[in-house]
Structure 1
């Protein structure tokens, strides 16, 4: 039996990196480790460029996510990232992937995970023009 080629995957915990990791695993790679790049002050460096059709693929292969930050609507916080949410994004004049920080997601389940993350004790916080969902607790189901 041929040993799987080991590769690393860039990881932010969001929809883009989750789908990229999934695709590598589907192509037969062993993804280890996950790489999360941080700047010296501890803030994440992010790459952008998700094509809109990847949003639907992300959902179709079984990933689940919630909105954890937004500059558009407070009501989006904690909302499930699904086809309905994607369809509603069309009324706004920005990239549906939130490429300029209009919203960010947190992946709670998917085909590369053994257990789902159930978040709880949530607080909506407004800081410098952006709403954040402060997740104070969670558990694996």
Structure 2
């Protein structure tokens, strides 16, 4: 069975946990793909700087490809780029880190089919399993920090919090998805078992957006582990 695949990557815990799971199953993750809308110049998933995603790529020693798109032409740009990467890397599939939202999976299966690739969902679960998934991540050795919160779900005191046992205990006491699958919070992974180097984050500030608040880092670089 051909196992060379691409992985949809936003820089957070879900994508990282998907990567770890795929590698342990014997897949060769040939490249990461991250969408960057022209309207924002930042990643579609978390509104992150492309430079920080590039650092993750370098730390993991896996090339990342940025898919520049518009909101209106998002799917078309995604499929076009994936078709090109399929030829470049001889891909057989594309993986996504989605957990349980059917609409997200339907979209991923649609673009995979249009690209002639097999869709993979290594983390797929029921919503009730999300608390266990969070515990799996916090026990995995990967290090992540909360970089964005939805204001009607979590206040800005959650920004900058590491995903550790204290985080698990506190998030389970709130009426939100423990994994933030509905956008309650987003994370950035900066170290872990598959990282050859770790990412040092400094000089943070909080930026208020329309419905969310984001932790912005002005300092970020690779350091030895």
Same fold (TM over 0.5): yes
Matches within 5 A, 1:20-39: 20-38=18-36
1:55 counterpart (125, 128, 134): 134
Match of 1:102 in 2: 184
* Higher-RCO chain (CA-CA 8 Å, sequence separation at least 6): 1
1:67 counterpart (146, 152, 159): 146
CA distance in 1, matches of 2:211, 2:35: 25
Match of 1:17 in 2: 15
CA distance in 2, matches of 1:89, 1:111: 25
Further displaced range: 125-134 or 39-48 = 39-48
Query: Structure 1 regions of 5+ residues with no counterpart?
Result: none
Offset from partner CA, 1:40-72 (integer Å, 9 cap, x none): 645625945363211111121211000001121
- C-alpha spacing 1:111/1:22, structure 2 compared with 1 (3 Å): same
C-alpha contact 2:148 2:215 (8 A) present in aligned 1:
yes
Match of 2:200 in 1: 118
Q: Give the TM-score, by structure 2 length.
A: 0.56
Query: Structure 2 regions of 5+ residues with no counterpart?
Result: 47-97, 101-124
Q: Give the TM-score, by structure 1 length.
A: 0.86
Larger Rg: 2
Between Structure 1 and Structure 2, the one with more helix by share is 2
Task: Give the aligned CA root-mean-square deviation in angstroms.
Answer: 2.1
C-alpha contact 1:125 1:133 (8 A) present in aligned 2:
yes
SS of alignment partner, residue 220 of structure 2: strand
